[in-house]
Amino acid sequence: LDVTRTIDQESARANIKVTEKKPGNAIPLATAQVEEIPVEIELEGKFINFVSFILGISSNSEITRVKSF
């Protein structure tokens, strides 16, 4: 999974601008098939577009959760 591409696609769909994106190092989890990839992002736009972006990212089958925003 290319997390940065997913973020770009969802931000375009939600009509919100990504002003900064900092992917961290992958963190292997208990099973070898799953890893956590922390990403810090800054967004610019309307609140409703932000909500749409978060919903889109959260519903992505390859991304299991958004920890904080």
Model confidence over 12-61: pLDDT tens digits?
999 999 999 998 888 887 776 777 888 899 999 999 999 999 999 888 77
Q: Give the separation between CA 11 and CA 8, rounded to whole angstroms.
A: 5
How crowded is residue 26: how many other Cβ atoms within 10 Å of its Cβ?
11
pLDDT at 46: 97
pLDDT at 58: 84
Q: Give the separation between CA 50 and CA 46, rounded to whole angstroms.
A: 6
Predicted TM-score (pTM) of this structure? 0.75
Question: Rounded to whole angstroms, what are the CA distances from 18 to 27, 31, 33, 35?
Answer: 24, 31, 29, 24
